[in-house]
Amino acid sequence: MAPALCAVCKTERALIKRPKNHQKLCKGCFTQIFEDEVHHTILSSSLFYPGEKIAIGASGGKDSTVLASVLKTLNERHKYGLDLVLLSIDEGIKGYRDDSLETVKRNAAQYDMPLKIVGYDELYGWTMDQVVETIGKKGNCTYCGVFRRQALDRGAKMLGIKHVVTGHNADDVAETVLMNLLRGDLARLSRATSIVTGSNASDVKRSKPLKYAYEKEIVLYAHHKRLDYFSTECIYSPEAFRGSARTLIKSLERVRPSAILDVVRSGEDMARLVPGQNQDACACKANTSPAPVAAEEDNGSGCGSANGRSTGGEMAAMEKQLKENEKAAEEKLETEIAIPKPNEKGSRPKPEKESKASSTTVPIMKQKLGSCERCGYMSSQKLCQACMLLEGLNKNRPEIQI
Amino acid sequence: MAEASQAPCNRCQENPGTLDLRGAERVCPQCFCTYVGNKTIKRMEQMQRETRNSGSKLPTRPQRYLLALSCGGASSTALLNLLHDNLARQQAPQPAKGTKGGKGGGQRVRFEIVVAWVDCDLSRPPPVSFSADGETADTETRPETEADAAWQRYKARYPTFTFHRIPLSSAPSLRTNSIDWSSLPPLKEGLTPHEQLADLLYTRLATPSSRADVQRLLVRHLLMDAARREGCDVLLLGTNTTALAELTLAETAKGRGFSLPWQVNDGPFQLPSFASYLSPSSQGQNQDQQAPSEDTKATESDIANSKANNQLSIYHPLRELFRSELQTYITLTTPPLTDLLPASITSPAAAAVAVVSHKDLSIDEVMSRYFAEVEVNYPSVVANVVRTTGKLERPGAGAAAAEEPKEGETTTGTSRSRQRQCGLCGIVLDEAGDARWRGELGEQAPEVEERRGKLCYGCGRSMNG
Sign of the Cα pseudo-torsion (B438, B444, B445, B446, in order): negative
Using a CB-CB cut-off of 8 Å, the residues of chain B touching A316 are 377-378
- Give me the torsion for CA of A249, A255, A260, A266, rounded to 10°: -100
Beta strands A53-57 and A83-90 are parallel
At residue B54, the pLDDT reads 53
Q: What's at B445, amino acid-wise?
A: A
- Across the interface, which of A36, A37, A281 has its CB nearest the CB of B432? A281
At residue A1, the pLDDT reads 58
Task: Give dist(CA A373, CA A391) in Å, integer.
Answer: 13
Q: Domain spans of chain A?
A: 29-314
Kindly state the helix (H) or strand (E) to which residue B270 belongs, with its residue range: strand B267-270
* Contact present, A199 and A379 (Cβ < 8 Å): no
Using a CB-CB cut-off of 8 Å, the residues of chain A touching B46 are 355, 359
Q: What is the pTM of this model?
A: 0.83
- Across the interface, which of A177, A283, A315 has its CB nearest the CB of B381? A315
Using a CB-CB cut-off of 8 Å, the residues of chain A touching B260 are 266, 270, 273
According to DSSP, the residues that pair with B312 across neighbouring strands are B269
A296 pLDDT higher than 50: no
- Across the interface, which of A265, A322, A358 has its CB nearest the CB of B257? A265
* Contact present, B184 and B424 (Cβ < 8 Å): yes
Tell me the nearest-neighbour CA distance from B185 into chain A, angstroms.
Answer: 20
SS (H, E, C) chain A: CCCCECCCCCCCECCEECCCCCCEECHHHHHHHHHHHHHHHHHHCCCCCCCCEEEEECCCCHHHHHHHHHHHHHHHHCCCCCEEEEEEEECCCCCCHHHHHHHHHHHHHHCCCCEEEEEHHHHHCCCHHHHHHHHCCCCHHHHHHHHHHHHHHHHHHHCCCCEEECCCCHHHHHHHHHHHHHCCCHHHHHHHCCCEECCCCCCCEEECCCCCCCHHHHHHHHHHCCCCCCCCCCCCCCCHHHHHHHHHHHHHHHHCCCHHHHHHHHHHHHHHHCCCCCCCCCCCCCCCCCCCECCCCCCCCCCCCCCCCCCCHHHHHHHHHHHHHHHHHHHCCCCCCCCCCCCCCCCCCCCCCCCCCCCCCCCCCCCCCEECCCCCCEECCCCCHHHHHHHHHHHCCCCCCC
> What number of other Cβ atoms are within 10 A of residue B94's Cβ?
9
Sign of the Cα pseudo-torsion (B185, B188, B193, B198, in order): negative
Give the fold, CATH level 3, of A29-314.
Answer: Rossmann fold (3.40.50)
Beta strands B162-167 and B111-119 are parallel
At residue B131, the pLDDT reads 46
According to DSSP, the residues that pair with B63 across neighbouring strands are B111
Residue B148 lies in domain = 52-419
At residue B355, the pLDDT reads 59
According to DSSP, the residues that pair with A205 across neighbouring strands are A163
At residue B106, the pLDDT reads 62
Q: What is the CATH number of the domain that holds B87?
A: 3.40.50.620
Q: Which residues of A232-261 are buried (b: 16+ CB within 10 A; e: fewer)?
A: eebebbbbbbbbbbbbbbbbbbebbbbbbb
A294 pLDDT higher than 60: no
B370 part of contact set with chain A, CB < 8 Å: yes
In a domain, B13, yes or no: no
> What number of other Cβ atoms are within 10 A of residue B16's Cβ?
16
Tell me the nearest-neighbour CA distance from B125 into chain A, angstroms.
Answer: 30
At residue B22, the pLDDT reads 92
Tell me the nearest-neighbour CA distance from A183 into chain B, angstroms.
Answer: 7
According to DSSP, the residues that pair with A197 across neighbouring strands are A206, A293
Task: Give dist(CA A203, CA A376) in Å, integer.
Answer: 11
Q: Is the peptide bond before B335 cis (omega within 30 degrees of 0)?
A: yes
Tell me the nearest-neighbour CA distance from B339 into chain A, angstroms.
Answer: 33
* Contact present, A316 and B23 (Cβ < 8 Å): no
Those residues whose C-beta lies under 8 Å from the C-beta of residue A285, and which sit 6 or more positions away, are none
In a domain, B161, yes or no: yes
Using a CB-CB cut-off of 8 Å, the residues of chain B touching A353 are 42
Closest chain A CA to residue B267: A359
Task: Report the alpha-carbon angle B183-B186-B188, nearest 5.
Answer: 160
Where residue B315 falls (left for φ over 0; alpha for ψ -120 to 50; beta otherwise) is beta
Closest chain B CA to residue A248: B370
Tell me the nearest-neighbour CA distance from A259 into chain B, angstroms.
Answer: 5
Q: Give the mean pLDDT per block of 10 residues along chain B (465 residues).
A: 67 94 93 97 93 60 92 94 93 60 62 95 68 47 81 94 94 87 90 90 92 96 94 95 97 95 93 67 40 42 52 95 96 93 64 63 94 92 94 67 37 49 91 86 67 85 84
Tell me the nearest-neighbour CA distance from A370 into chain B, angstroms.
Answer: 27
Using a CB-CB cut-off of 8 Å, the residues of chain B touching A176 are none
Count how many residues are written for chain B.
465
CA A311 from chain centre, in angstroms, equals: 21
Answer whether A326 sits within 8 Å of B380, measured CB to CB. yes
Kindly state the helix (H) or strand (E) to which residue B373 belongs, with its residue range: helix B363-377
Task: Give dist(CA A247, CA B370) in Å, integer.
Answer: 9
- Across the interface, which of B377, B402, B441 has its CB nearest the CB of A212? B441
Q: Which of A34-43, A385-394, B15-24, B27-36 has the lowest mean pLDDT?
A: A385-394
> What number of other Cβ atoms are within 10 A of residue B280's Cβ?
7
- Across the interface, which of A254, A322, A327 has its CB nearest the CB of B381? A322
Interface-testing mutation among A255, A274, A282, with chain B (most B C-beta atoms within 10 A): A255
Helix, strand, coil shares of chain B, percent, nearest 5, are 50, 10, 40
In a domain, B333, yes or no: yes
pLDDT, one tens digit per residue, over A11-32 is 999 999 999 999 999 999 999 9
Task: Give dist(CA B66, CA A71) in Å, integer.
Answer: 58
State the burial class of residue B3 (Cβ atoms within 10 Å of its Cβ: 0-12, 13-18, 19+).
exposed
Q: Which residues of B139-172 are buried (b: 16+ CB within 10 A; e: fewer)?
A: eeeeeeeebbebbeebeebbeebebbbbbbbbbb
- Across the interface, which of B46, B430, B439 has its CB nearest the CB of A269? B430
Tell me the nearest-neighbour CA distance from B102 into chain A, angstroms.
Answer: 13
* Contact present, A238 and A144 (Cβ < 8 Å): no
Answer whether B256 sits within 8 Å of A183, measured CB to CB. no
Average pLDDT over residues A99-124: 94
At residue A43, the pLDDT reads 94
Answer whether B440 sits within 8 Å of A45, measured CB to CB. yes
- pLDDT category, A275, cuts 50, 70, 90? confident
In a domain, B446, yes or no: no
Answer whether A361 sits within 8 Å of B391, measured CB to CB. yes
Average pLDDT over residues A159-171: 95
Across B56-176, where does the E strand assignment appear? 63-69, 111-119, 162-167
In a domain, B20, yes or no: no
Task: Give dist(CA A385, CA A377) in Å, integer.
Answer: 9
DSSP assignment letter at B338: G
Quote the number of domains for chain B. 1
Task: Give dist(CA A97, CA A120) in Å, integer.
Answer: 12
By C-alpha distance, which of B370, B424, B432, B465 is closest to B181?
A: B424
DSSP-derived 3-state class of residue B407: coil
Which CA distances in Å does A101 have to A231, A330, B229, B420? 12, 53, 69, 54
pLDDT, one tens digit per residue, over A222-253 is 999 999 998 876 777 556 677 889 999 999 99
